[in-house]
């Protein structure tokens, strides 16, 4: 339990420190665009290997998620639709 509390505290300090440090950095337009694209990049880095391992369900989920992300410009909505699509394809037996 102590280790979990310590890890949580360290995680909080690292995240809060990042917000504190960015207050001292002048954010250019290029850096702002990079920071805005970062959540989508992280999702792609996590989802692509999983989709490749899961065959039809993974490919269908990835296609659905990307379509929704591009149409609605919402990473969260895209992830939710991708999860639902994978569940439906697996339920159908593919």
Give the domain range for residue 33.
28-91
Residue 11 has what pLDDT? 92
User: Model's pTM, two decimal places?
Assistant: 0.52
78: in domain: yes
Residue 17 burial (10 A CB sphere; 0-12, 13-18, 19+): exposed
Q: How far apart are the first and last CA of the chain?
A: 41
10: in domain: no
- Which of 3-12, 42-51, 53-62 has maximum average pLDDT? 3-12
The distance of Cα 77 from the centroid of its chain, to the nearest Å, equals 11
50: in domain: yes
Instruction: Find, among 68, 79, 77, 74, the residue nearest to 44 by Cα.
Output: 79
Residue length, the chain?
94
81: in domain: yes
How many structural domains are present in the chain? 1
40: in domain: yes
- Give the separation between CA 39 and CA 65, rounded to whole angstroms: 14
């Amino acid at each position: 339990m102590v280790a979990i509390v310590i890890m949580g505290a360290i995680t909080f300090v690292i995240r809060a420190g990042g917000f504190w440090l960015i207050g001292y950095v002048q954010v250019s337009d290029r850096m702002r665009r990079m920071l805005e694209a970062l959540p989508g990049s992280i999702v792609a880095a996590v989802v692509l290997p999983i989709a490749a391992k899961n065959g039809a369900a993974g490919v269908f989920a990835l296609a659905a998620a990307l379509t929704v992300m591009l149409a609605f410009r919402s990473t969260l909505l895209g992830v939710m639709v991708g999860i639902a699509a994978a569940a439906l394809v697996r339920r159908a037996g593919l």
